[in-house]
Chain A
Amino acid sequence: MHFAGALLLLVPLVLGVSPAATAQDVLIRGAKVHTAGERGTLDDADVSIRGGRIVEVGQALAAPPGATVVEAAGRPLTPGFFGGITAIGVEEISLEPSTVDNSPTHGDGKGAFEPRPEFDVTRAFNPDSVVIGVNRLEGVTHAMVAPSASEGGTVLAGQGAVARLDGRWDAFAPASRTLFVDLGARASQASAHTRAAQFMLLEQAVGEARPGPRPLDSDFRLLTPQGRAVLARYLSGGRIAFRVDRAADIRQVLDFASATGAKPVIVGGAQAWQVAGLLAKARVPVVLDPLSNLPMSFDQLGATLENAARLHEAGVPIVFTNLITPTHNAYQVRQAAGVAVAHGLPWDAALAALTRVPAQTFGLGAELGEIAPGRAADLVLWSGDPFEVTTVAEQVWIDGRAQSMRSRQTELRDRYRPASP
């Protein structure tokens, strides 16, 4: 009974973010504008939005005709936050397989290496997932929707892309497409129980994807024809995200990438600080969880709350993600950003790790991640310092459109709110 009621209550929420609606014209006046770009932070600044794009950032801007005017009253305004590497929209309830689509188990499901780079998790995306609304309410406007190797799955997990989280059906930006490869201890079951085999098999797959004669009738064929075509695309300058923690494995990845022509991104990187110089030199970004300070495995010995600060100091581009509860609580990246600041990362670098750097890392640098003319108007007006645990997002815009600031959770809250004393 109650559940049916909750479903009914969802209907207006869904209508509220209808993809058919047109983008809006808005003037946000008098904000503390954290541009995440060259202009840094501007006090008492205005942001003018037309047709869903930022057209001007400055003082005392005139409101475009018919624009909605929002008085920020000095509150912080940031670009919409990147929610990290998630399964938002492809994982509703983690332990209910009928609602989970991000974790393919090809082959016999018992650890056979059956790489299917052509697997594209974005095809399963559900723009109506309540997980989207919960995260957006906390200022997350876009996130990488990624496949992951399940237990008994494959090292070559498949492809993901960055989704805009406003309920639109065509949520993915093609430029953000990324191939995911899971390496190290966590993926050893899917590769003959040894990480040496991971590179052996990857190199074999690369060999198949390259032009030239190949033993099509061989029993040792790894990829399907589609898989070869997809992998070939990524090897010619495409982006491959490697989930890997150990410093020695990161070195292997860098060698593999330079030998094959792929553009690597490190995800996890608990020991990345130990090879910060190499990563900086190769301009390889690291997507990390600033809260990861425990040696969850031998690959993560030396994990530290200072990973973000050390990598930044060395010149490595860093992006934040939540590795513990990456989907339902993706938004906790902003709390993690605060912890990173408390452990030595400059505040502006933490903001960049949630905005500009992820946009650049995933091919969307011209579109998202900064408050600057020409960028999409994906913005968040905060009640205070956006990293502070007592701060809330007061208004979220995506493409200039004010998003509903309700979710299934606020519906439940209001149903059970205790009477005022």
Chain B
Amino acid sequence: MRRIVAGLVSGLWVLGCAHAAAPDPYPSTYRAPASAPTLIRNATVLDGAGRRFDGADVLMRDGRIVAVGAGLSPDGATIVDGSGRWVTPGIIDVHSHLGVYPVPELDAHQDGNEATDPVTAGVWAEHGVWPQDPGFETALEGGVTTMQILPGSANLIGGRGVTVRNVRATTYQEMKFPGAPHGLKMACGENPKRVYGGQDRAPSTRMGNVAGYRQAFADAQDYREQWREYEQELAAWERKGTGRRPSDDPAPVPPKRDLRLETLVAAMAGDIQVHIHCYRADEMALMLDLAREFGFRVAAFHHGVEAYKLAGRLAKEGVCGALWADWWGFKIEAYDAIWENLAFVDAPEGGCAIVHSDSAAGIQRLNQEAAKAMERGRRAGLAIPPERAIRWITSHAARSLGIADRVGTLEPGRVADVVLWSGDPFSVYAQADLVFVDGALAYDRARPRGAPESDFLLGQPIGGAR
């Protein structure tokens, strides 16, 4: 469809038709760590795909899941006794600000909101990620092996999110999930209008919010058109011959690259997963109309305190709800929270409920948050066994990030991100005993704690804390 003219049209890769071939200018340098084959024996296994296996084994080799089942042959693998313990896929958080809002919360480390313009689609969260955030290690201790790091919600369109592997690294590129699509962070409601209304500029109302999204996407449509025209002109020019050209027939000049609009064009092309911070049911419905108007798909509504009011439509349109179990009341758009939100969003055929954290504290206990919602759903009459609820922090999360073919379940061939829990992960007393990333042991609770992973904490007076 499009001929690649190296060095001339470096902006073209965002146009959707050739994204697969497009090089990421900030490529992942993640390398799966070396791993010995491991066999976890005789555990209760929740595979993330909706199945439960009692007294089952899990075999990992070369960083992949080989099999889940009874009586697997170790074939030279290191054997881990899983008796009385539970196995789940590595936990995935679709909404984290680790690295962009790291701890300590220092003035110079507030890198998550480019709150200087309501549409900053050109910024990338990954360019603000500080890999030394101590929160990565505590998240790992909670079983989190993959997360999406997003810009904040100050802006209507805040920029691109990045999906990372939760491994110790000096650069974020070493964490970047190879081949995972970018996310696009958008925000409904109070936050953008508060930030900009407070500066006497648009948006200061929900009307202004929607006008802001629409203008941005309309501009992106126009931009997409400019590139299309340019491509056509270029193609025509190239067809005229390969020989020496007269000086009055120069090559067509490409449009000036616009990083904001490139991102939005890529979102419309489906190359970027759209994640929208949106609390109220009526605003989620508005955003679904916006998505239809401009031809993009919403991967998930985040926070969605009122998602339960729109559960049927979300399921029908294949939109996930990335939710908390019970946070509420900090603003009026978070007033109508119910404990059953996740369970109600999960209930319809095709429902996609996700537990997210948005918090360096909450990310450590996504299993407990899922447990709370699971129990309330049961008490409201829904059948939610653990093998169903575990999907809220594994495969559903992977689906919304566009990486469900690689992580999120323990199906054979999947990346061996595995957590061995001390007991039922839906208990407050359960702890991650072992966490495997790509089949390699990344955390072992029984091992005496050594130096902290974060360079920042190294040499600080925290000794006895570990």
Contact = CB atoms under 8 A, between A and B. Distances in A.
Interface string A323-349: 011011100100100110110000000
Contacts of A412: 336, 338
B68 interface: no
Contacts of A391: 375
A52 B448 CA distance: 51
A335 B105 CA distance: 25
A301 B375 contact: no
A327 B329 CA distance: 9
B26 interface: no
A390 B371 contact: yes
Given A296-B105, A392-B375, A301 B428 contact: no
A342 B464 contact: no
A11 interface: no
Given A325-B330, A329-B328, A339-B365, A390 B427 contact: yes
Contact of B368 (A95, A327, A335): A335
B144 interface: no
A294 B138 contact: yes
Listed residue (A298, A390, A418) with the most chain B CB atoms within 10 angstroms of its CB:
A418
A329 B327 contact: yes
Contact of B371 (A96, A134, A306, A389): A389
A7 to B, nearest CB: 13
Nearest to A411: B338
Contacts of A324: 359, 361
A388 interface: yes
A388 B427 contact: yes
A280 to B, nearest CB: 16
Interface string B308-319: 110100000000
A390 B375 contact: yes
A95 B190 CA distance: 10
Contacts of B329: 92-94, 131, 134, 327-328
Contacts of A392: 375-376, 379
Contacts of B463: 302
Interface string B87-107: 000000000000000011100
Interface in B314-334: 326-332
A95 B272 CA distance: 32
B428 A325 contact: no
Contacts of B337: 409
B147 interface: no
Contact of B326 (A94, A292, A329, A341): A329
Interface stretch (B2-10, B173-181, B454-462): B454-462
B309 A413 contact: no
A94 B338 contact: no
A387 B428 contact: yes
B76 interface: no
A94 B340 contact: no
B440 interface: no
B303 to A, nearest CB: 14
Interface in A282-315: 291-298, 300-304, 306
Main secondary structure of the interface of A (DSSP, over half): loop
Given A324-B359, A392-B379, A420-B381, A93 B428 contact: no
A304 B332 contact: no
Contacts of A421: 347
A295 B190 CA distance: 29
A11 to B, nearest CB: 18
A417 interface: yes
A274 interface: yes
Listed residue (A134, A273, A292, A328) with the most chain B CB atoms within 10 angstroms of its CB:
A328
Interface residues of B, number: 56
Given A294-B138, A296-B104, A412-B338, A95 B429 contact: no
Given A95-B330, A388-B428, A409-B338, A417 B344 contact: yes
Contacts of A306: 465
Interface string A89-118: 000111110000000000000000000000
B434 interface: no
B372 A302 contact: no
B327 A418 contact: no
A416 interface: yes
Contacts of A273: 464-465
B344 A418 contact: yes
A282 B392 CA distance: 47
Contacts of B360: 294
B135 interface: yes
Contact of A294 (B103, B380, B429): B103
B48 to A, nearest CB: 20
B436 interface: no
Nearest to A293: B138
Contacts of B465: 273, 302-304, 306
Contact of A389 (B308, B336, B361, B372): B372
Interface string B106-146: 00000000000000000000000000001100100000000
Nearest to B430: A342
B311 A389 contact: no
B395 interface: no
A294 B462 CA distance: 11
B464 A274 contact: yes
A302 B330 contact: no
A390 to B, nearest CB: 4
A93 B361 contact: no
Contacts of A417: 340, 344, 380-381
B335 interface: yes
Interface string B437-466: 000000000000000000001001111111
B223 interface: no
A306 B348 CA distance: 41
B409 interface: no
Given A389-B372, A390-B371, A418 B332 contact: no
A92 B335 CA distance: 9
Nearest to B456: A295
A294 B357 CA distance: 15
Listed residue (B329, B371, B374, B430) with the most chain A CB atoms within 10 angstroms of its CB:
B329
Given A335-B368, A417-B344, A328 B338 contact: no
B38 interface: no
A417 to B, nearest CB: 6
29 contacts: A93-B331, A93-B335, A95-B332, A294-B138, A294-B361, A295-B457, A298-B104, A301-B461, A302-B460, A327-B329, A328-B327, A328-B329, A329-B328, A335-B368, A341-B429, A342-B431, A388-B427, A389-B426, A389-B427, A392-B376, A410-B338, A412-B336, A412-B338, A416-B308, A416-B311, A417-B340, A418-B347, A418-B348, A420-B381
Given A94-B329, A416-B308, 20 more contacts: A93-B335, A273-B465, A291-B361, A293-B361, A294-B103, A294-B361, A295-B103, A295-B134, A296-B105, A325-B330, A327-B329, A328-B328, A341-B428, A388-B427, A388-B429, A390-B374, A409-B337, A412-B338, A413-B380, A418-B311
Interface of A: 92-96, 131, 134, 273-274, 291-298, 300-304, 306, 324-325, 327-329, 332, 335, 338-339, 341-342, 387-392, 409-410, 412-413, 416-418, 420-421
Interface of B: 103-105, 134-135, 138, 190, 194, 308-309, 311, 326-332, 335-340, 344, 347-348, 359-361, 364-365, 368, 371-372, 374-376, 379-382, 426-431, 457, 460-466
8 closest Cβ pairs, A-B complex: A338-B428, A328-B329, A302-B462, A390-B375, A304-B465, A302-B465, A95-B331, A94-B330
